[in-house]
Amino acid sequence: MDACSAVEKELDRVVTKFTGIRDHAIKVFDLAFSDVENIRQIFLDDPEAKLTENQVEIIKTVLNRTKSKLQGISSDHRELHGTVSKVGKVIDRNFVSDFSATTRTDFLQDKSNVELLNKIIAQHYYRQGMDDVAQELLSESELPQSISQEIFESERSYATIYKIWEAILARNLEPALDWVSQYSNELKSKNSSLEFKLHRLVFMQILSRGVEAQGEAISYARKNFSNLIDRFEKEIQNLMGTLIYLPVGIENSPYKHLTSQDMWTEASYIFLKDACNTHGINKDSPLSIVVNAGCTALPALLSIKQVMLSRKVLGVWKQRDELPIDIELDAEYRYHSIFACPILRQQTFEDNPPMKLACGHVISRNAWSQLSHGPMLKCPYCPLEQSPDEAKYIYF
Ligand SMILES: [Zn+2]
């Protein structure tokens, strides 16, 4: 953030300077134009007349003045270059361009990793609706046909959701309402507000046609809100309240928020979330998740650049796929439970899984092997003496 404000400060300087030069130049040009116009007027008044000495003097003065002013402008302009190039220097000074400490290019020497990377990029393109780019990438990257097909299939349901989402934003609610009626049981079990929010939009859409649409709006409400009244009583009352303001226009009433664009944005977001959830797919593509999570992790990793480059850390990183520091990610980027060993304070991973002792306490396998002495293991918590063989692996 500091880096951004430093660059912004420099940019402000350029803009101020530029505005100053521009305002000054406009004044100079105006003056030059009016001088030239005056001279032109002399000729227009009497095309046959010869110039008097005085007039010749005026023309000379005007030409000299204009020339020197224009030179002034061009030197101002040259000076501006210095200020502009300073912005570049500030960017270089404040932003990191070398990320080698935080990257592992050896990852891309592994064929399966390259496949994975191509796969998630293709998935991202499918999600953006750029099917042709995704297919081109898949064919150029020579992924096996079975994998390409698998990606295509998995993204097809997302593509359908995406199209409906786009339709909502374009204020066409029909596809979304069709979808809702198809999955109404699933939505009800998740206590979703989507159905109500979509019907509310239709109701407001009808009312936007004015007083003459009142009857239609009321019959729409009778038909579609009756089974939603238990959960959305207050909201439905509000909707009925809008009817009183129809003659003056709902935009001029306390209910004007119901006509705002936010209602559409909110409904489209809820649709995307609920539909993805119902189909068991993530609403974000793997690529965007990785990029966003990476952006959260980068500043912390760059601040310990020297540590990251040390051999010890490289070893840990390569062997365990584990970063040397904890990175706090937002809840939306957490996909599975994690377990940290209470003895060794390490997060468990495939080669060092959590183990449940006979007494019920859970520790990591590394801790378990350090605490096991022959046939005996003393739990560091209870402290029950037991056989190490009684411990069981725990899978999350
Ligand atoms: Zn115990």
Ligand 1 centroid–CA 201 distance in Å is 57
378 - beta bridge partners?
A: 385
Ligand 1 centroid–CA 383 distance in Å is 5
Ligand 1 centroid–CA 389 distance in Å is 14
Express each pLDDT in 85-117 by its tens digit.
988 898 988 887 777 777 777 778 888 888 889
Asked whether 394 and 356 are in contact (CB, 8 A), the reply is yes
Residues 227 and 253 in one domain: yes
Of 210, 230, 259, the domain-final residue: 259
Q: What is the mean pLDDT of residues 253-258?
A: 88
Ligand 1 centroid–CA 316 distance in Å is 30
Residues 210 and 251 in one domain: yes
Q: Does residue 125 sit within a domain?
A: yes
Residue 9 to residue 7: CA distance in whole angstroms: 5
239 pLDDT above the threshold of 80: yes
Q: Does residue 110 sit within a domain?
A: no
pLDDT at 317: 64
Domain count, the chain: 4
Q: Does residue 105 sit within a domain?
A: no
Given strand 392-393, what is the order of strands in its sheet?
362-364, 354-356, 392-393
Ligand 1 centroid–CA 358 distance in Å is 7
Q: Does residue 287 sit within a domain?
A: no
Residues 90 and 7 in one domain: yes
Q: Would the CA dihedral through 265, 270, 273, 279 be positive or negative?
A: negative
Ligand 1 centroid–CA 360 distance in Å is 6
Residues 348 and 374 in one domain: yes
Q: Does residue 234 sit within a domain?
A: yes
Share of the chain above pLDDT 90, in %: 28
Residue 92 to residue 124: CA distance in whole angstroms: 31
Residues 175 and 218 in one domain: yes
Ligand 1 centroid–CA 377 distance in Å is 10
Express each pLDDT in 182-203 by its tens digit.
998 999 888 899 999 999 999 9
Q: Does residue 274 sit within a domain?
A: no
Q: Does residue 103 sit within a domain?
A: no
Residues 254 and 182 in one domain: yes
Q: Which residues touch 163 (CB under 8 Å, ≥6 apart)?
A: 175
Q: Residues within 5 Å of ion ligand 1 by Cβ? A: 359, 361, 379, 381-382
Asked whether 265 and 100 are in contact (CB, 8 A), the reply is no
Burial of 293 (0-12, 13-18, 19+ CB in 10 A): middle
Instruction: Note down the domain range covering 55.
Output: 2-94
Residue 121 to residue 352: CA distance in whole angstroms: 31
Ligand 1 centroid–CA 361 distance in Å is 5
Q: Would the CA dihedral through 274, 278, 280, 281 be positive or negative?
A: negative
46 pLDDT above the threshold of 80: no
4 pLDDT above the threshold of 90: no
Q: Does residue 253 sit within a domain?
A: yes
393 pLDDT above the threshold of 70: yes
